[in-house]
Amino acid sequence: MSASFASALGAAHDAAAAQHYPQGALYVVATPIGNLADITLRALHVLQLADIVACEDTRHTQALLRAYGIDKGGANLLALHQHNEAQAAQQVVAQLQQGRRIAYVSDAGTPGVSDPGARLVDAVQNEGLRCIPLPGASSVTTALSVAGAVAASTEAQGFVFHGFLPTRAGERTNAIQHLAREPRCVVLLEAPHRIQELATALAVLGERRVTLARELTKQFEEVSSHPASELPAWLAGSPQRAKGEFVVLLHPMAAQADAAFGQGEQVLALLLAELPTKAAVRLAAEITGAPRNPLYEAALRMKNG
């Protein structure tokens, strides 16, 4: 155990032990995405308490547990990854039905988002068994929190999680053409050996702002934003910039939406002189690409004015 975590287990017990942890339940536990200090006290307590820890990679998880001073023998670890998730899920269900507490962790972050875990949870819930989430680190929300990429406007509010794009060039190009029409922030993930290819493919988005977040929570963490057209040159500027796992955020199309709405109002004013409100709004939206609901509100203001 690292000396820096010597007091963590005691603190976890003091903070979390008084809570109820039912038997026969699956505990879905988020683990750090890089910095070991990002583990939660409740996660430490549950990992100690669990009869079995199901995990994406038993060697990786064994090392993680030992760093915190948690000793689980090989018999208490169950491999559950993308290649055996359906089969291993049935083993988990059988153990839960015998009243055991099972914690599931992926290699890093929150299971079931981009990592395995979704099919496991589905299998457990289909048997009427309980799944208990233990929130914690996630590369997606970590990157979003420092990118300023989630718009507050009505039309582009929130974000879309897409994950990894297809690796084949043609399929990836088609996916990007589809995402180019998405007005909200889009969250992508990418590996270091493919980030340059992704940046080149995204360059067709021109001035749309893109944030690259790599090595989040680690020593060489870097978050940098650029117009999409400049990404390939920026990455090529230093070999260090292409290292580490990436979260890639396409910012919302705020500027484009504002321009379209301005044109929409101009066209709408002309159409209202000749057509009923609904027909004028529909045509103005079709002609300019501006969102229909704000145009309808603008039409009402024009008529009332």
Q: What percent of the chain has pLDDT over 90?
A: 72
Question: Is residue 261 over pLDDT 90?
Answer: no
Three-class DSSP category at 112: coil
pLDDT of residue 285: 83
Q: What does the buried/exposed string (b/e) look like for 136-154 if buried means 16 or more CB atoms within 10 Å of the residue's CB?
A: bbbbbebbbeebebbbeee
Question: Is residue 1 over pLDDT 60?
Answer: no
Answer whether 96's CB lies under 8 Å from 102's CB.
Answer: yes
Task: Tell me the per-residue pLDDT of 52-92, one tens digit each, with 9 for 90 and over.
Answer: 999 999 999 999 999 999 999 889 999 999 999 999 999 99
Supply the mean pLDDT for the chain. Answer: 92
Question: Is residue 155 over pLDDT 80?
Answer: no
- The sign of the torsion formed by the CA atoms of 41, 44, 48, 50 equals positive
- Spatial distance between the Cα atoms of 224 and 221, rounded to a whole number of angstroms: 10
Average pLDDT over residues 128-143: 97
